[in-house]
Structure 1
Amino acid sequence: MQTHANIEIVIGDDSSDDRTERLIASRYRDDPRIDYRRNLPALGQARNVASLFARASGDKILLIHDDDYLLVHCIERLLAQWERYPDLDVAFGDQYETDHHGRINHAASRRMNAAYRRTASAAGLQTPPGRAGIVQMFPNNGWLANAALVKQIGYDDHYGTCCDYVFGTRLCLAARRVCYVNEHVSCYRITDVSVSQATRCSVNASSISAWHFLKGLSLPAELEPARKLALRRLVPIVVSLLARNHEARAGLQLALGNLYAYRFGFSARFYYHLLMIWKAARLSRGESVALLGMPDEQPVDTSRTRMP
């Protein structure tokens, strides 16, 4: 239903049943735009996406995950940026946040875009381009990029559910020009069955992988402030995850080694995390501990390019 109709739709079906396969066969069998393939055995998120990139024949690529969707003008609006900036590599826009049924939550959408610095004052070319990826201004969907660059970067399966964020960061670091369009072009759906929800409280959560990736990333001096900004948001989430999974010592070392992330101790969150770490240490020794009256802190979904 895109207003720009000259598109190729490359599908990599990793599902455990044949419902998608039957849908494509019954409804879209005669649509020449569709290149469908079912993966047997399943490839997993990163390898499946990498296979899609390899199969794509267009000169630009847009990735959309199975539970999210594009607004009908998405490709047209993003593609128009290449007319404004002929040497552009990447363009992206705002996202709506929706529930399981696709109903838009406008308040949550405003908070999400503002948190990731997608605001009217930031519209246009991003300088330096890599910053858009590091601070996660670059979204998991609603982006369009030159195919040659996308294929050069590829998807790395070493980072689990964090592979979207890793890809977006590396893409923006390699791009000559990155443009942000202050207009909603896609929808990010929050569901109970997404990979991020299933792993969000475990040591496999994407926040931990994102932290390791950021810490080890080689960056020019001009991008160090962007790394610090990203870690400022990420470190408290990782500390919380470590405490929840009885890694008390690692959580304490991370918190004390990054006090700037807690406003150097002037943050109630810091003391709540210290209580969580104390509880985890006691539990690791087999002692019974009750922690009452404190809010339940949930890690923020950082997979598919979302960071706290």
Structure 2
Amino acid sequence: MQLQHHSNEPLVSVIIPTYHRPDYLKEAIKSAVNQTYKNIEIIVSDDASPENPQKIIESFQDPRIRFRRNSKNLGISLNVIGAFQEAKGKYVASLNDDDVWNDDLLEKLVPQLEANPNLVVAFSDHYIMDPDGKINHAATEENTQRWKRDQLKEGIYQPFYEIGIVHQAVPSAVATVIRKDAIEWDDFQPQMGPFWDLYLTYLACRNGGGAYYSPERLARYRVHSQSESMISGGVSSQANIRAGKAGIFCFRKFMEDQRLQEFKDYFQEKWLQAHTTLAIGLLRSEQVKEARPYLLHVLRQKFNFKTVAAFVLSLIPQPLARKLLASS
């Protein structure tokens, strides 16, 4: 049975940024189309995939889907900013092209925002699934604990600086609905790179608004060899460089925000870690001279074994350094 669309339901814009994952994209769109909350627009934003996914979109024959395609590859942050800025909804929600929502995600989160004008976001916990879509229960529990969502009870948190950008409990790219006019979208910067979701959480929390949390797992986050979280955790030098640059930009911004001074030491720590991440990425891609200043910058501020080790690597002959880096 289809729910009738009630004209008093506000429009929600579902943003699906995509790049070269046709099979997963189909599943993501299906989970958006199947929402029991019906008043939505779905913006599929393709970042110049080698194969245009237009046919996939047309196969749904759903007038709520809008397709935009960049003429050249812009990277995740610019792709997603462009789509958010075109959204017409009162609320916006991001759905990765390799993730899936439960049919009732919007139905459960949107009414919380409607009922309380002080809320900027409503978010839930989520499952972790493998490349084939099978839920990994151990990884799911671990993920809930990692972001300290196991310590959150259902309800409203205001302000939510700590859970938002210190604990990073708000999965802005996965299971979060955001009040569009509470965000200054022009402050959404390309430098945030793969950390765009963390930066979005910062924009959402910085004016002291509230967040509603549901401990129910309303989405499934897919872990596979091509997801950015896997790449940046692995040995891809380019992913290290992207994550390092994004971290330096974001944590510096947070450190300088007067409203967040109580967490300044924590952000400074993360900012320095990002310098090391960037330097290791540069070393891995044999840009030794470029890496050194980042390492020295960290070592001037504090002693850190990982940074010292990386600095030593930057001083020894390249063939030996390559061997050591490959084994780390």
Are 1:98 and 2:129 counterparts? yes
Q: 1:231 to 1:104 in 2, by over 3 A?
A: farther
Q: Output the amino acid matched with 2:78.
A: R
Task: Return the match for 2:181 from 148, 158, 161.
Answer: 148
Quote how far apart the aligned CAs of 1:224 are. 2.7
Q: 1:109 to 1:179 in 2, by over 3 A?
A: same
Q: 1:220 to 1:242 in 2, by over 3 A?
A: same
> How many percent of aligned residue pairs carry the same amino acid?
24
Deviations 1:204-253 (A, max 9, x none): 232442133212433236x2343433554564464255245243453254
Q: Output the amino acid matched with 1:7.
A: I
Contact 1:214 1:227 (8 Å CA) reproduced = no
| Number of the residue aligned with 2:250 | 213
| Number of the residue aligned with 2:14 | none
Partner-residue secondary structure (3-state), 1:94: strand
Q: Output the amino acid matched with 1:181.
A: S
Contact 1:53 1:151 (8 Å CA) reproduced = no
Q: Output the amino acid matched with 1:254.
A: V
Q: 1:175 to 1:276 in 2, by over 3 A?
A: same
The 5-angstrom pairing of residues 121-132 of structure 1 reads: 121-132=152-163
**Which structure has more RCO (C-alpha within 8 Å, separation ≥ 6)?**
1
| Number of the residue aligned with 2:298 | 254
Quote how far apart the aligned CAs of 1:63 are. 1.0
Q: Cα RMSD over matched residues?
A: 3.2
Partner-residue secondary structure (3-state), 1:8: strand
Equivalents in 2 of 1:127, 1:22: separation in Å?
44
| Number of the residue aligned with 1:69 | 100
Question: Scaled by the length of structure 2, what TM-score is found?
Answer: 0.72
Q: 1:11 to 1:250 in 2, by over 3 A?
A: closer
Contact 1:67 1:189 (8 Å CA) reproduced = yes
Structure 2, unpaired ranges of 5+: 1-33
Equivalents in 2 of 1:237, 1:57: separation in Å?
35
Deviations 1:51-95 (A, max 9, x none): 322332221111112112212221122123235534312111112
Are 1:51 and 2:95 counterparts? no
Quote how far apart the aligned CAs of 1:97 are. 2.0
| Number of the residue aligned with 2:309 | 275
Q: Output the amino acid matched with 1:73.
A: D
Contact 2:123 2:214 (8 Å CA) reproduced = yes
Equivalents in 2 of 1:39, 1:243: separation in Å?
31
Quote how far apart the aligned CAs of 1:132 are. 3.2
Q: Output the amino acid matched with 2:309.
A: L
Q: 1:137 to 1:227 in 2, by over 3 A?
A: farther
Q: Output the amino acid matched with 1:201.
A: S
Are 1:7 and 2:40 counterparts? yes
Q: 1:240 to 1:47 in 2, by over 3 A?
A: closer
Quote how far apart the aligned CAs of 1:154 are. 5.9
| Number of the residue aligned with 1:116 | 147
Are 1:32 and 2:70 counterparts? no
Equivalents in 1 of 2:322, 2:189: separation in Å?
41
Q: 1:225 to 1:106 in 2, by over 3 A?
A: farther
Q: 1:110 to 1:84 in 2, by over 3 A?
A: farther
Partner-residue secondary structure (3-state), 2:201: helix
Question: Scaled by the length of structure 1, what TM-score is found?
Answer: 0.77
Contact 1:98 1:190 (8 Å CA) reproduced = yes
Contact 1:252 1:274 (8 Å CA) reproduced = no
Contact 1:243 1:277 (8 Å CA) reproduced = no
Q: 1:18 to 1:175 in 2, by over 3 A?
A: farther
Quote how far apart the aligned CAs of 1:123 are. 3.8
Equivalents in 1 of 2:57, 2:159: separation in Å?
42
Q: Output the amino acid matched with 2:263.
A: A
Are 1:204 and 2:241 counterparts? yes
Moved more, 231-240 or 111-120: 231-240
| Number of the residue aligned with 1:299 | none
Q: Output the amino acid matched with 1:46.
A: S
Q: Output the amino acid matched with 1:146.
A: R
Q: Output the amino acid matched with 1:75.
A: L
Q: 1:153 to 1:290 in 2, by over 3 A?
A: closer
Structure 1, unpaired ranges of 5+: 260-269, 297-308
| Number of the residue aligned with 2:25 | none
Contact 1:160 1:206 (8 Å CA) reproduced = yes
Are 1:173 and 2:203 counterparts? no
Contact 1:90 1:144 (8 Å CA) reproduced = yes
Q: 1:169 to 1:108 in 2, by over 3 A?
A: same
Aligned pair count reads: 281
